Amino acid sequence: MAVYTEVTDEDLETFIASYDVGELLSFKGIAEGVENTNYILHTTKGPFILTLYEKRVAREELPFFLGLMQHLSRQGVPCPLPVANANGEVLGELAGRAAALVTFLEGFWTRKPKADHCAQVGKALAKLHLAGQNFPMHRANALGPGGWRPLLERFQARADAIAPQLATTISDELDQLATLWPKELPSGIIHADLFPDNVFFIGDTLSGLIDFYFACNDYLAYDLAICLNAWCFEKNFQLNLTRSRALFRGYESVRQLSAAERKAMPVLARGAALRFLLTRAYDWLNTPAGAIVKPHDPLDYLRRLRFHRTIATIAGYTGEDA
C-alpha cells in the first residue's frame, strides 16, 4: 500500500502526451496496490489510473494481463480498459518502470459483504469466465496445485513458528489433494484473486472488477471456490450459508456448473484455502518487521481449510438437498 516510484510532472506530461487522453490536470499517488505503484490522474478527458509495474511483476507477463483486460472490457465485463498510445501500444515506460494507463473505474469495495453482494459477485465471475473463453493468450497458474509443494518447501523448516504442526498439516493435505484433485474440469481464464477489495460497488450495485495480475488459465470452478473462501466466511471463520448460497445461485444464473464441477467443489474449496494459507504463511515469515504492507494472518485460511474438510458435497455450501 504505497508509492514505490515517484514520478515527476515533466516525465508524466511527456508520457501522457503520447496518449489521446487530453491535458493533464492533476495526479496523486494512491495508497493502493501491494505489488505496484498507482497514481490517479485527472485529465481534460476524465480520470485514469496510471500503474508503474515494480520488480515483483514479471514484465514479460504484462501483455497477457493488459490484453486480458482489453478483451474482457470489450466483452462487457466491467474492468479497467488499458488505453493505447499513439503507436497502438498499451505498455509504455515511465520513471524506469513498465507503465500502463487504464480507465478509472468508479466504485469502492465493501468491507461487510452481504448475500446480495455475493450474488452479484457470482454473476460477474461467471460472465468473466464466459467472456474469457475466446481470449487467445494462455498463462499457466503458478499458484495452482503444481506450485503448492515447491512453495511449502521454501518455508517448511520455519512453518511451525506460525502454528504447531503446521508443516505436517499442510504436507498431509498436499498428499490428500494430490489424490483427490479432479483430473479434468471445464477450464479457461480465471481471475484467481477475486477478493472483496477487488470488486467495486456503487451503492449496492457491482460496478467493476479490478486487479487481474493473478489471472491465468485453470479450472473455472476453482475460481468460484476461491470466491467462496474470500466472500462467505464470518469473522469467526464460520461459513455464512446465506452468502455462499447467494454466490452459487448468482454464478449458476449465468453459467451452470457441470456434475463433475459440483462433485469436486469441496476439494476445490480445500485447494483454494490451502493456496492462500501457503502464500500468506510465506509472506508472514518473509515480511520484515516494520514493513509498509502488513501480512495477513495465514491461520484464517487454516481454519477455512479445516471447515472444508468437514464438507462432503456441494450442498454444504448451497444448502440444497444433496
Q: Site residues (CB under 8 A) for its own copies?
A: 1-3, 8-10, 23-32, 40, 42, 47, 104-112, 200, 202-203, 290, 292
Q: Which three cell numbers stand for residue 230?
A: 474470500
Q: Which is nearer to its own copies, 106 or 321 (CB)?
A: 106
Q: Which is nearer to its own copies, 136 or 203 (CB)?
A: 203
Q: Which is nearer to its own copies, 25 or 140 (CB)?
A: 25
Residue 48 Cβ vs its own copies, minimum distance, rounded to whole Å:
12
Residue 39 Cβ vs its own copies, minimum distance, rounded to whole Å:
9
Q: Which is nearer to its own copies, 10 or 60 (CB)?
A: 10
Cα 129–chain centre separation: 14
Residue 158 Cβ vs its own copies, minimum distance, rounded to whole Å:
23
Residue 211 Cβ vs its own copies, minimum distance, rounded to whole Å:
14
Q: Which three cell numbers stand for residue 185?
A: 474440469
Whether 76 and 59 have beta carbons less than 8 Å apart is answered as: no
Residue 23 Cβ vs its own copies, minimum distance, rounded to whole Å:
7
Neighbours of 206 (CB within 10 A): 20
Q: Which is nearer to its own copies, 116 or 252 (CB)?
A: 116
Distances (CA, A) of 106 to 37, 111, 112, 307: 19, 17, 19, 36
Residue 42 Cβ vs its own copies, minimum distance, rounded to whole Å:
6
Q: Which is nearer to its own copies, 9 or 321 (CB)?
A: 9
Q: Helices marked H in 2-105 — which ranges?
A: 9-17, 62-74
Spatial distance between the Cα atoms of 218 and 180, rounded to a whole number of angstroms: 16
Q: Which is nearer to its own copies, 40 or 177 (CB)?
A: 40
Distances (CA, A) of 31 to 37, 53, 81, 188, 196: 8, 15, 21, 32, 17
Residue 24 Cβ vs its own copies, minimum distance, rounded to whole Å:
7
Angle, CA of 254, 259 and 265, to the nearest 5°: 80
Q: Which is nearer to its own copies, 107 or 144 (CB)?
A: 107
Question: Computed over its alpha carbons, how large is the radius of gyration of the chain?
Answer: 20
Residue 105 Cβ vs its own copies, minimum distance, rounded to whole Å:
8
Whether 232 and 118 have beta carbons less than 8 Å apart is answered as: yes
Which residues make Cβ contacts (< 8 Å) with residue 310, sequence separation at least 6? Answer: 316
Neighbours of 149 (CB within 10 A): 16
Helix 220-231, helix 259-286: angle, nearest 10: 60
